[in-house]
Structure 1
Amino acid sequence: MRGADFLQLDPAQAGRGNLTAWLAEAVRDAVSDGRLAPGDRLPATRVLAGQLGCSRGVVVDAYRRLTDEGLLSGRHGGGTTVRAAWAPAQAPPSAPRERPDAGARQAAASGLAGVLPDLTAAPARDADADLIDLSPGLPDLSAFPRAAWARAERSALAGLASSELGYGDPRGLPALREALAGWLARTRGIRAHPDDILVVNGVSQGLVLLARALGAQGIRRIGFEDPGSYGAREHLRRWELEPVPVPVDGAGLDVAALGRTGVDAVLVTPAHQFPTGVVLAPDRRRELVAWAGAAPRSDPGRRPGRLVIEDDYDAEHRYDRPPVPALRALAPDHVVHLGSVSKSLAPAIRLGWLLAPAALQAELVEARYWTDLASPALPQLALAHFITTGGFERHLRQVRRRHRARRDALLAALAAHLPDGTAHGVAAGLHLLVTVPGTDDAAVARRAGQAGVRVQPLSAHRLGDGPSGLVIGYAANTPDRLHEAVRRIAQSITSDR
């Protein structure tokens, strides 16, 4: 792990022999600009030193400097917290609206990045127990922190007033929005007031709301990464947006090609592109922000610019590369940020967040109300408690170790059984893309399905031409099952040739 999610710290950015000063300055800047607020807890010195690959003394000295300056406070056994005061500017009050006089209807939800119907077109050879499911986007559900989550729920119930058992704020409960504001500032570099955050039932619902908002502005076409998630592509189509393919290469989305499409909105996965696993390069980030700031061709007078929808897919799961900040941190007036706990905790929690430019916020809240009134209160309060007490960060550290071990097991199995294959997206995420020259990936996936392995062909996630490959999820299976799955896939490839 070369770097920490905390403030997106990358030790490669430090001057030679000046790691303590660099770390102290990074924390000082975060306190100054509001990414760290009073009471926020800093990582334990031993944990942060391990993530940065330095001695514990470096972190201890940096914390001590900031404590002497009055920015931090610490006590034995109590951890180190932010002491300095900083108050975010209050969000402007929303225009008054008439309260809807009827109930809401439930929005349909289908899969997003990495989630799609079974593409093997063949049943497992025996019972489901023999099926090895390598579908991408499936987290290790056995790692769900049951005991810690139960404590968070008990704490939420203990402090819950009877009045809070009503429908609640369609934006989400203040406790969760405040917790998310701090979490996103510390780990994704996003500075936002809690009122800027809209709690949604996962990224899928966020896309539903955005599709409605774009349709109301007359936008019917949206740029889409190619290759890109089949599930997300079909999800957009169900809500009457036509995905326009934009090529992806080793640096991420081709922004020059995006400019030639004539679209005014684009959906991207910049932190870990699905399915290739590439990170959107710094120059492409700058180009994309510049594209978003330009006036739309279709209506230069009505909208302030184009819209980038950032699906923060797999941002929490990285193993061999430094963290990258969210696009939203660069251009909050033009970027919608979407995230959820579906991959970091479990899809069953059904909680996510949406941060939109100010011009869209009131419209999205209105649509949120008419969709299903609000998200359930108890899971929101439990997640808020889980974040603010440090339980979420501890859980992420634990599952990263487990996921990394499973990724290494998959790589070892590929080296043993598929030496001709090339693995992509190794440094992060919950899946690998494996390209195998001279194969028909759809045929291989069908044969693998007959052998009891569910795996997705790259061609299912692509609209244009490209290489043959398999998208292999590894988080939900033990090393021995991953080894057996790759052995069966290799046999399927042999029979395909």
Structure 2
Amino acid sequence: MMDKRATSADEPGASDWATSLDLHVDLHHGTRSISASLTRALRDAVRGGRLAPGTRLPSSRALAADLGIARNTVADVYGELVAEGWLTARQGSGTRVARRAEPRRSVRKARAVPELRHPLATPLTYNMLPGQPTLSAFPRTAWATAMRRALAAAPSEAFGYQGPAGRIELRRELAGYLARARGVQVAPERVVVCSGFVHGLGLMARVLKAQGARRVGVESYGIAEHRAVLERAGLRPVAIPVDADGMRTEGLADSGVQAVLLTPAHQFALGGALPAERRAELVDWARRTGGLVLEDDYDGEFRYDRQPIGALQGLDPDRVVYLGTASKSLAPALRLGWMVVPERLAGEVLRAKGMEWSASSLDQLALAELISSGGYDRHIRAMRQRYRRRRDQLVAMVEERAPHVRVTGLAAGLQALLLVPPGTDAAVVERARRDGLALMPLSSVAFAPPPSPLHAVIANYAAPPDHLYPGALAALARALTTSGEAQP
């Protein structure tokens, strides 16, 4: 008669991998023998679905050592369950749960758990919602190379708990890059690494609240989540009007705000760049009142038809907090952002941050390596060319298929503003949705619209992958065609 133990997972030919597997088994044998208790525990685990069909089990030697019992006992139990059809054992592949061993189905119907989706994610075929780059263009090879180099050079302490400021390697590289590419006045000691812009904004909101601030000026068109971050910190957002040139700074003196949050390089969502005279007025207001300016430089690196516009922070590093992120330049999934804070606030920011929300040290080291090797600059240049082509294709399509629509906000950034006839913006968004295209109406980002609000939709030409972009443009063209015109 064949010995049932001859098929055990640790017989010659079986993979050594089985010796490293863990398996939790409750041996509440009471009056039962250890063998009977183990048999019942494994059978119940398979019957109840905890061990799914195809799951590999540890070798008899490994499980016996983990449970503190004889190896022959485990081998006998495995053989018994193989004979009963609960397990299978094949030379070279070890012992597994049998495919035909279906788990017992619960009598109670499981309660459906609602799926949570990020506001910028969409189940539609074409996504032109603002807020993300071309995800398929993430520089995987360059990032993998940077990560390998970073791992090889990383000191052992990089794998431990980190301080709130972030890895010094990244802070040094960011200081050099921001000074060179964005005109930021910065030393590594004033760079704080955070987990994206929203995290950085939340830290600054808490610092402002602790200093006695109550009101923060925000652009009348802007991202609602940013206002919510301020409100959660106990601050009151106050709308400051914007126009085609960005925030209208002449009204700050009468607004009663102690700080201002704005996007000066490329206003979201109207697309203007804050002109020099308004920048000067903003800095003068901060100096005169002791206010603080929070600069969101969310896509300042992507400019096309204009000379580079430096960061506002360069005008007064003591009154401007610079906030940047890799979400648009690389990918949101990295959860990497940074702040350049005035020296007088650095300690308060670090105390507010503590050990929370620390971005991965390994990702920080990889980004530092990518910047130092020139890979980050090369990627930005390549994406700038790609997005310029995308933008030009969108403009050409609108001119040809929907000449009644005016396109603005084109000099920089990842999206365009499409001005549509009054009262048609909601219809455009709905027609697009029915055609599988996600668009955002400008009204959805209006905090305090002017008496004569703009009627427009925001189209992110960066988001769709290359193979879907022609279809996205075609769907956009159909959505922009008014009911009084012939459908293309």
Fold shared, TM-score > 0.5 on shorter chain: yes
Q: Measure, in 2, the Cα distance between the counterparts of 1:447 and 1:482.
A: 13
Aligned AA (2:160): G
Q: Measure, in 1, the Cα distance between the counterparts of 2:190 and 2:384.
A: 30
Q: Measure, in 2, the Cα distance between the counterparts of 1:337 and 1:196.
A: 10
Aligned AA (2:323): L
Give deviations 1:72-127, integer Å, cap 9, x for gaps: xxxxxxxxxxxxxxxxxxxxxxxxxxxxxxxxxxxxxx99xxx9467xxxxx8xxx
Deviation at 1:273, TM superposition (A): 0.5
Q: Measure, in 1, the Cα distance between the counterparts of 2:408 and 2:232.
A: 30
Q: Measure, in 2, the Cα distance between the counterparts of 1:442 and 1:259.
A: 36
Matched, 1:361 2:355: no
**Residue segments in structure 1 that go unaligned for 5+ positions in a row:** 1-109, 119-123, 296-304
* Pairing partner for 1:375 from 355, 359, 363: 359
* Pairing partner for 2:441 from 450, 453, 457: 457
Corresponding position of 2:331: 346
* Pairing partner for 2:387 from 384, 387, 403: 403
Deviation at 1:432, TM superposition (A): 0.4
Matched, 1:469 2:456: yes
Matched, 1:176 2:170: yes
Deviation at 1:461, TM superposition (A): 1.2
Corresponding position of 1:316: 301
Corresponding position of 2:472: 482
* Contact 2:163–2:355 under 8 Å retained in 1: no
Give deviations 1:252-271, integer Å, cap 9, x for gaps: 21111222211011101000
* Contact 2:129–2:458 under 8 Å retained in 1: yes
Matched, 1:384 2:393: no
Matched, 1:422 2:416: no
Cα 1:241–1:117 change in 2 (3 A) is: farther
Deviation at 1:131, TM superposition (A): 2.1
Corresponding position of 1:150: 144
Cα 1:146–1:117 change in 2 (3 A) is: closer
1:70-469 superposed matches below 5 A? 116=119, 128=123, 131-295=125-289, 305-372=290-357, 374-462=358-446, 463-465=448-450, 466-469=453-456
* Contact 2:286–2:292 under 8 Å retained in 1: yes
Q: CA RMSD in A?
A: 2.0
Give deviations 1:370-398, integer Å, cap 9, x for gaps: 423x3211000000000011000011111
Aligned AA (2:266): H
Q: Measure, in 2, the Cα distance between the counterparts of 1:249 and 1:441.
A: 19
Give deviations 1:282-312, integer Å, cap 9, x for gaps: 00000000001013xxxxxxxxx10000000
Q: Measure, in 2, the Cα distance between the counterparts of 1:492 and 1:437.
A: 9
* Contact 1:439–1:493 under 8 Å retained in 2: no
**Residue segments in structure 2 that go unaligned for 5+ positions in a row:** 1-115
Aligned AA (1:488): R
Q: Measure, in 2, the Cα distance between the counterparts of 1:493 and 1:306.
A: 50
Q: Measure, in 2, the Cα distance between the counterparts of 1:288 and 1:197.
A: 23
Deviation at 1:450, TM superposition (A): 2.5
Deviation at 1:441, TM superposition (A): 2.0
* Contact 1:289–1:330 under 8 Å retained in 2: yes
* Contact 1:410–1:482 under 8 Å retained in 2: no
Deviation at 1:158, TM superposition (A): 0.5
Cα 1:485–1:363 change in 2 (3 A) is: same
Deviation at 1:349, TM superposition (A): 1.1
* Number of residue pairs the alignment of both structures matches: 364
Q: Measure, in 2, the Cα distance between the counterparts of 1:281 and 1:458.
A: 23
TM norm structure 2: 0.71
Q: Which of the pair has the greater relative contact order for Cα pairs under 8 Å at 6+ separation?
A: 1
Aligned AA (1:262): G
SS class of match (2:218): strand
* Contact 1:211–1:239 under 8 Å retained in 2: yes
Q: Measure, in 2, the Cα distance between the counterparts of 1:326 and 1:312.
A: 7
Aligned AA (1:273): Q
Aligned AA (1:211): A
Percent of aligned pairs with the same residue? Answer: 45
Larger Rg: 2
SS class of match (1:324): coil
SS class of match (1:467): coil
Q: Measure, in 1, the Cα distance between the counterparts of 2:144 and 2:422.
A: 50
* Contact 2:120–2:129 under 8 Å retained in 1: no
Deviation at 1:446, TM superposition (A): 2.9
SS class of match (2:241): strand
1:54-65 superposed matches below 5 A? none
